[in-house]
A and B are shown apart, each in its own frame.
Chain A
Amino acid sequence: MSASLADKVAVIGVGCTKFGENFGQSLQEMMVEAGTAACADAGVSLDDVQAAWLGTFSPGFSGGKATITLADSLKFRGRPITRVENYCATGTDAFRNAAAAVAAGQYDIVLVLGAEKLRDRPVRGLQREGIHPYFEAGSTAPGIFALAANRYMHTFGMKRETLAKVAVKNHANGASNPKAHFQMKITEDQVLKAPMIAYPFGLFDCCPTTDGAAAAIICRADLASKFRKDRIVVRGIGLAVMSGKPYLDPTCDYLGFPATQAAAQQAYKAAGISDPVKEVDFAEVHDCFTWTEISNYEDLGLCRKGEGPRFIEEGRSTLQGDMPVNPSGGLKSFGHPVGATGVRMIYEIVTQLRGEAGERQVKNAEIGLAHNLGGPGAVACVVILGREG
């Protein structure tokens, strides 16, 4: 990423539906709710928005193939809309593309909208799509992350008890988040005794499948003061793609996610960050499974490879720790409507940076990091936002 994007783009409005089993809301209704809320938060009319990016992974029965869902639901017509799909990193990649267009000077004000309705499917879990019918048959989302977790546990001797601490922490954070899919605290014992999904992941080691939508209005940073007093700018963005088939790649060691490492380095360089654990105040990371969060600590450079288990065991990533991770509850508790998740992370970071997060507020939050991971660790996107003044 070119350093020129840094500090050129401001987030002036965010919106988010309640995440969960939104049986009463269609994909389009959730999109309208989130998009309208973001516009209201920014104090702009949708008529002022010049272009839109729609992040959605699997629009499903009524979602349409491409951009029309947004055009038809919000009646956002006669302007550019681009659909972005990049596995579970869809939401942050939609944000990245929108930010790049604003930074390039093409548009002044644009909408980023992520939405997914997963709970109207007739099957359990997230369907893997676009996989080879033979070479990748038998894979499920928990299964492919369990491959990594098992190799990591074999190498570093980590136990399931350590994984459980991630679930307990994220549920504790989500318990005070009114928009979270789950608002309940759980105990380590509950996590360990839950039904097994894909060893070492029991039910509580897995994020849920969720319905939800989130939106952000972003604009040229020099225009931000026209809309809001606070000034929250994009400090850096990185995105990296690795193999989507690590199980066929003899060079993959399964001890972490190189895509995250590369994306983080791009974002840190743009933001001028050299010591993230000191310079970043909190992070919203992609905890699709408990082990993913532990790997994220290492891959984002919050600690060294192999030290992730200690990072959680010492409580450093709790709300009270020196590096709160997933104050929102994360995917684990907030839920994971795939295309919405990355934009929801932007929503949470902005909410925290404004000091409006209530019980889950991180103290003195000035710089926040969002990390989104897609596929079997194939795509990672890191967005760093900062509050100025």
Chain B
Amino acid sequence: MKGIIGHAVRVPAYRIAREEIARAWQSSSPGGYKRCVRFDEDSLTLAAAAAQNCLQALSGTRVAGLIFASTTAPYLERLNAGIIAAICDLGAGSFVLDAASSLRAGTTALQLALAAVPDDSAIVVCAADMREAALGSPEEMQYSDAGAAVAVGTQNVIAELLASATTNDDFFDSVRRDRDERVTSFASKFSSDYGYIAPVTRVVKEILAKAGKVSGEIAKFVVSSPDRRAHLQLAKKLGFNEKQLQDIGFEDGGLTGAAMPLALLSAALESAKPGDLIAVASFGNGADALLFRVTDQIQCYKPRVPLAAQKAVALDYASYTLYRKAREFFRSADQGLEISNVFYAKEEHQITRLHGSACRHCGMRQFPLAQVCVGCRKADALDEVALARTGTIYTFSEDTLYPSPLPPTVMAVVDLDGGGRIYCEVVDCLPSEVRIGMPVELTFRKLKEGGGLYHYYWKCSPRRTA
């Protein structure tokens, strides 16, 4: 049996009321909130957070590969999925691949992963986007940032693949060239009829026919969307009622690009029951559809940080100006931090994989990698180990001197569970929430930009896991 063995979403903690965007542009708001990145997040960190949560829920399944799907990957030449694989501490034998350029890159990657996954292994498909729309456009309010991950495999399958279909058509409704920062939108009734409803209808009918099912038998129809109205029209045309249609969560989210179908799928799986049929579809220069049947195994699967727990964290940008400042902070604060590839190659195991040393004599775990034990000072018995990504704040400071678009910068000394101490920023909470003894989890974030590179390292946030 092949199918889904794990899933996770990553909802940014920050958001902005669409009213605030409308106020800035003297335009009208469709209501609700747009979820958006903190200044230190991007598509890579959102996808990495989802992938890590997905993998941790799988506990030790061999990972054969990792695919990162996004239209806004930070690097155009440097394998983004390779960085995510390192964050997830995958071995050099895993294949890694960036899937790009289409809003349905995530579902196409999912189809490829399902076709390719070897027995007793997993392939992780993670997707994220933080798309920039034209300033003052309706899309600027509709687009929302998110990450999601879905792991496929052959053991402990929670949703079995029944059918899949794809259609490819060079129909453009939203476009961004290599030189463009913002999406050029061709949103219109023509686009939604011919670029969305028509191709998605075709592939959904195809999977239902292949599996011998009709729309009335589907428990959840999960489909990405170019706008809310077209979403409802499509469902109606295919014969799905409102209860069957997976809500896109526009009130506290929005159109999340390549992450959208996988994020909605994860949300549907959170509330799925054994036997449920879930149809997943997405669009973007064509369309993809997959049909899954939920298994009894779903009752054993607990998402590490459920969607509701993530949405419970909501830090509102008080103004559009602050939202933009956070989004563009590093562009004006390029610290020119230049490290060599020699330095990074030597330090990658510590910086990105968070490896430390464990002493065979006294047992003490320590960070960074040590040649002489900090506990017993013996020099011959240190093993490289992966350190825990959870811990407790030993002490902290609230620093207004350090440049940040969200001052004060809260820096904490964190004692990791099982040993090792690191020093990092506390994010995704108000400074007033931080206290000594607070349990935290580590989150991989952007530190700085400069020297032609994005510099990522670990930060921490209040522990949301059960």
Known: A150-B395, A196-B400, A248-B421. A134 touches B457 (CB 8 A): yes
Chain A proximity of B254: nearest CB distance (Å):
31
Chain B positions 424-466 with a Cβ under 8 Å from a chain A Cβ: 424-425, 436, 447-448, 455, 457
Q: Are A248 and B422 in contact (CB under 8 A)?
A: yes
A199: nearest residue on chain B (CB-CB)? B398
Q: Are A140 and B402 in contact (CB under 8 A)?
A: yes
Q: Is B399's beta carbon under 8 Å from chain A?
A: yes
Chain B positions 307-354 with a Cβ under 8 Å from a chain A Cβ: 337, 339, 347, 350-351
Chain A positions 181-211 with a Cβ under 8 Å from a chain B Cβ: 195-199
Chain A proximity of B415: nearest CB distance (Å):
7
A254: nearest residue on chain B (CB-CB)? B395
Q: Is B413's beta carbon under 8 Å from chain A?
A: yes
Q: Is B386's beta carbon under 8 Å from chain A?
A: no
Measured between beta carbons, the chain B residues less than 8 angstroms from A142 are: 397, 399, 401
In the complex, which of the residues B368, B415, B425 contacts A138, with contact meaning CB atoms closer than 8 Å?
B425
Q: Is A389's beta carbon under 8 Å from chain B?
A: no
Q: Are B366 and A250 in contact (CB under 8 A)?
A: yes
Q: Are A137 and B400 in contact (CB under 8 A)?
A: no
Chain A proximity of B411: nearest CB distance (Å):
5
Q: Are A137 and B447 in contact (CB under 8 A)?
A: yes
Measured between beta carbons, the chain B residues less than 8 angstroms from A140 are: 399, 401-402
B397: nearest residue on chain A (CB-CB)? A146
Q: Is A48's beta carbon under 8 Å from chain B?
A: no
Q: Is A133's beta carbon under 8 Å from chain B?
A: yes
In the complex, which of the residues A138, A143, A250, A251 contacts B424, with contact meaning CB atoms closer than 8 Å?
A138
Q: Are A198 and B368 in contact (CB under 8 A)?
A: no
Q: Is B250's beta carbon under 8 Å from chain A?
A: no
Measured between beta carbons, the chain A residues less than 8 angstroms from B420 are: 250
In the complex, which of the residues B351, B364, B413, B455 contacts A254, with contact meaning CB atoms closer than 8 Å?
B413
Known: A137-B457, A150-B436. A249 touches B421 (CB 8 A): yes
A198: nearest residue on chain B (CB-CB)? B399
Measured between beta carbons, the chain A residues less than 8 angstroms from B375 are: 250-251
B431: nearest residue on chain A (CB-CB)? A199
Chain B proximity of A138: nearest CB distance (Å):
5
Measured between beta carbons, the chain B residues less than 8 angstroms from A137 are: 447-448, 455, 457
Q: How far is the CA of A254 from the CA of B423 in the complex (A)?
A: 13
Known: A135-B422, A137-B457, A143-B401. A249 touches B374 (CB 8 A): yes
In the complex, which of the residues B367, B408, B423 contacts A139, with contact meaning CB atoms closer than 8 Å?
B423
Chain A interface residue count, Cβ-Cβ cutoff 8 angstroms: 33
Q: Is B409's beta carbon under 8 Å from chain A?
A: yes
In the complex, which of the residues A135, A150, A243, A250 contacts B415, with contact meaning CB atoms closer than 8 Å?
A250
Measured between beta carbons, the chain A residues less than 8 angstroms from B398 are: 146, 196, 198-199
Q: Is B396's beta carbon under 8 Å from chain A?
A: yes
Q: Is A125's beta carbon under 8 Å from chain B?
A: yes
Q: Are B364 and A143 in contact (CB under 8 A)?
A: no
Q: Are B421 and A250 in contact (CB under 8 A)?
A: yes
Q: Is B419's beta carbon under 8 Å from chain A?
A: yes
Q: Is A226's beta carbon under 8 Å from chain B?
A: no
Measured between beta carbons, the chain B residues less than 8 angstroms from A248 are: 366-368, 421-423
Measured between beta carbons, the chain B residues less than 8 angstroms from A199 are: 397-398, 408
Measured between beta carbons, the chain A residues less than 8 angstroms from B368 are: 135, 248
Q: Is the interface of B mostly helix, strand, loop or mixed?
A: strand
Known: A135-B368, A137-B448. A254 touches B394 (CB 8 A): yes
Q: How far is the CA of A251 from the CA of B455 in the complex (A)?
A: 29
Measured between beta carbons, the chain A residues less than 8 angstroms from B396 are: 147, 150
Q: Are B397 and A147 in contact (CB under 8 A)?
A: yes
Q: Are A143 and B397 in contact (CB under 8 A)?
A: yes
Q: How far is the CA of A150 from the CA of B397 in the complex (A)?
A: 7
Q: How far is the CA of A154 from the CA of B412 in the complex (A)?
A: 14
Q: How far is the CA of A124 from the CA of B366 in the complex (A)?
A: 33
Q: Is A239's beta carbon under 8 Å from chain B?
A: no
Q: Is A148's beta carbon under 8 Å from chain B?
A: yes
Measured between beta carbons, the chain A residues less than 8 angstroms from B365 are: 250
Q: Are A247 and B421 in contact (CB under 8 A)?
A: yes
Q: How far is the CA of A154 from the CA of B413 in the complex (A)?
A: 14
Q: Is A136's beta carbon under 8 Å from chain B?
A: yes
Chain A positions 100-152 with a Cβ under 8 Å from a chain B Cβ: 124-125, 133-140, 142-144, 146-148, 150-151
Q: How far is the CA of A146 from the CA of B431 in the complex (A)?
A: 14
Measured between beta carbons, the chain A residues less than 8 angstroms from B415 are: 250
Q: How far is the CA of A265 from the CA of B182 in the complex (A)?
A: 64
Chain B proximity of A123: nearest CB distance (Å):
9
Chain A proximity of B352: nearest CB distance (Å):
9
Q: Are B395 and A151 in contact (CB under 8 A)?
A: yes
Q: How far is the CA of A280 from the CA of B436 in the complex (A)?
A: 37
B370: nearest residue on chain A (CB-CB)? A248
B437: nearest residue on chain A (CB-CB)? A154
1/0 per position for A29-54, CB-CB distance to B under 8 A? 00000000000000000000000000
Q: How far is the CA of A134 from the CA of B450 in the complex (A)?
A: 13
Chain B proximity of A9: nearest CB distance (Å):
34
Q: Are A251 and B425 in contact (CB under 8 A)?
A: no
Q: Are B395 and A148 in contact (CB under 8 A)?
A: yes
Q: How far is the CA of A250 from the CA of B408 in the complex (A)?
A: 26
Measured between beta carbons, the chain A residues less than 8 angstroms from B400 are: 195-198
Measured between beta carbons, the chain B residues less than 8 angstroms from A154 are: 395, 436
Q: Are B397 and A144 in contact (CB under 8 A)?
A: yes
Most buried by A among B351, B364, B395, B436: B395
A201: nearest residue on chain B (CB-CB)? B397
Q: How far is the CA of A196 from the CA of B397 in the complex (A)?
A: 12
Chain B proximity of A98: nearest CB distance (Å):
32
Measured between beta carbons, the chain B residues less than 8 angstroms from A138 are: 399, 402, 409, 411, 423-425, 447
Chain B proximity of A150: nearest CB distance (Å):
5
Q: How far is the CA of A195 from the CA of B398 in the complex (A)?
A: 13
Q: Are A146 and B399 in contact (CB under 8 A)?
A: yes
Q: Are B401 and A197 in contact (CB under 8 A)?
A: yes
Measured between beta carbons, the chain A residues less than 8 angstroms from B394 are: 151, 254
Q: How far is the CA of A253 from the CA of B195 in the complex (A)?
A: 62
Measured between beta carbons, the chain B residues less than 8 angstroms from A147 are: 395-397, 411, 413
Measured between beta carbons, the chain B residues less than 8 angstroms from A243 are: 374
Chain A proximity of B329: nearest CB distance (Å):
14
Most buried by A among B364, B366, B421, B447: B421
Chain B proximity of A355: nearest CB distance (Å):
40
Sample 22 A-B pairs with CB under 8 A, ordered by A number.
Answer: A133-B447, A133-B448, A133-B455, A134-B351, A135-B423, A135-B457, A138-B425, A142-B399, A143-B399, A143-B409, A146-B399, A147-B413, A150-B395, A151-B436, A154-B436, A195-B400, A196-B400, A197-B400, A197-B401, A198-B399, A250-B366, A250-B420
Residue positions of B touching A, CB distance < 8 A: 337, 339, 347, 350-351, 364-368, 374-375, 394-402, 408-409, 411, 413, 415, 419-425, 436, 447-448, 455, 457
The 6 closest A-B CB pairs, nearest first, are A247-B423, A146-B397, A151-B395, A143-B399, A199-B398, A134-B457
Task: Apart from A134-B347, A135-B422, A197-B400, list 4 A-B contacts with CB within 8 A.
Answer: A133-B337, A134-B457, A146-B397, A250-B366
